[in-house]
Structure 1
Amino acid sequence: MSRNPRNPIFPAGVDLPAAGGGGPLVRLWRARSELLLVLTLALVALTLLTATQQGRWVPLLLLTSAISVPAATRMGRNWIAAHFWCVFSRHRLQRVCLETTMHTRAGRIPLVLWITPTTTGEKALILTRAGISAEKFEAYSEEIAAACWARSVNVYRHRTRAQLLIVEIVRRDEVPGADAPGLDRLYGRRAWVSLRPDLEEPPDLRTQVMLSQVG
């Protein structure tokens, strides 16, 4: 009988720590985007307040223009929306780990090291904890897709480092030009193996371009 990764991995009748445990550094890492945003807003507000008190209107106009102009352009709005979904998906991935068996006996969940926008959604680079594998993420792919408000989820394991995996969140059709330099460029597509036999391995980006030109 093959093991079902969805089955509970903890013995019944044993009191375990609440899931989501971690030290202060882990909690700060999980909230890094929100903390950076709050720090940036506080710095901007302090700069504006200082400029107005000193009667210096030129720095005030330059700063407000630097903030408002990108938000008024289509490219700026797309960038903001793409990174909003990255933060949203990161928190939802962590919530799925808390609500399922994808955490350790001590209540620790896998670390989302990095998440980046793609042409179809987002890709998250994840470092698993002891006792958790890429196969478990694949077993919970439907739960992850539902939690992230996405169409589907694909899981890829690193060829030589089983503790690293990529969760690809597909939420829309491919949008040309929406891809950002991220996981593919840093780690390469050939380093990852799909856990689904019916899903072909992601081709190299140059191969994709060549095939589209030939077609």
Structure 2
Amino acid sequence: MPRNPRNQIYPGYEDLPAAGRSGRLVRLWRIRTELLLAAALTLFTLTLLGATQEGRWMPVILLSSAISVPAVTRTGRGWITSHVWCVISRHRLQRVCLETTMHTRAGRIPLVLWITPTSRGEKALILTRAGICAEEFEAYSEEIAAACWARNANVYRHRTRSQFLIVEVVRRDEAPGAASPGLDRLYGRRAWISLRPDFEEPPDLRADLTLTRAGH
């Protein structure tokens, strides 16, 4: 794909603005998943220690089963893996914004409001900053795909609120009849516009599978 001139939004004679230090709330929001996991692990450890000291083994068995049973099933491992990739992609998207021109002159990067797994990879809902638009993300789609260790990346802009965009990280083909493991359906489908004129929306393979079964 030819490089888009929007990749260089600052004049050539100017130095690129350095990424600045974000506010405390923004930094906490970026590591919200890690903070929640640390809090859950701490609560789990304290509960186990309290139960064993009091000689109550039933809470230990229940908590251990709640963690170990999903980990040994295929569905549970798939859920864990897909959400681990969400955390990785979120940090890699933030890193791409820092390493390219997708940050403001004050050094602020767009906010990844939410990221969820899909049957093909991940979808991230992003709120842009002033001076950044969805077209710039499209110009850096190859860099995004490489940073996220993915096959490619697709960018969609909201029809009526251009400050919102979706970055779809594509890692694999969608299997026929595969259900999405995340909440990407909550984003909607008709509210977003692809920034690639030649890009076609992937067919609903579940509908094709239903028609095939009905024909038999």
Task: With the length of structure 2 as denominator, give the TM-score of the two structures.
Answer: 0.89
User: Distance between the aligned counterparts of 1:178 and 1:107, measured in 2?
Assistant: 39
Q: 2:16·2:101 contact (CA, 8 Å) conserved in 1?
A: no
1:81 to partner: Cα distance? 0.1
**Matched residue, 1:5:** 6
Structure 2 counterpart of 1:159, which letter? R
Within 5 Å, give how 1:52-67 maps onto structure 2.
Answer: 52-67=52-67
> How many residue pairs end up in the alignment?
208
**Runs of 4+ residues deviating >2 angstroms:** 8-16, 175-178, 208-215
Within 5 Å, give how 1:61-210 maps onto structure 2.
Answer: 61-175=61-175, 176-183=177-184, 185-201=185-201, 209-210=206-207
User: Distance between the aligned counterparts of 1:156 and 1:61, measured in 2?
Assistant: 46
Q: 1:189·1:202 contact (CA, 8 Å) conserved in 2?
A: no
Runs (5+) with no aligned partner, structure 1:
none
Q: 1:128·1:164 contact (CA, 8 Å) conserved in 2?
A: yes
Deviations 1:132-173 (A, max 9, x none): 000000000000000000000000000001000000000112
Q: CA RMSD in A?
A: 2.0
1:13 to partner: Cα distance? 4.8
Q: 2:10·2:16 contact (CA, 8 Å) conserved in 1?
A: no
SS in 2 for 1:167: strand
User: Distance between the aligned counterparts of 1:68 and 1:213, measured in 2?
Assistant: 35
Q: 1:193·1:201 contact (CA, 8 Å) conserved in 2?
A: no
Task: With the length of structure 1 as denominator, give the TM-score of the two structures.
Answer: 0.90
**Matched residue, 1:23:** 23
Q: How many percent identity over aligned positions?
A: 68
Runs (5+) with no aligned partner, structure 2:
none
User: Distance between the aligned counterparts of 2:42 and 2:9, measured in 1?
Assistant: 44
Q: 2:127·2:165 contact (CA, 8 Å) conserved in 1?
A: yes
Structure 2 counterpart of 1:166, which letter? I
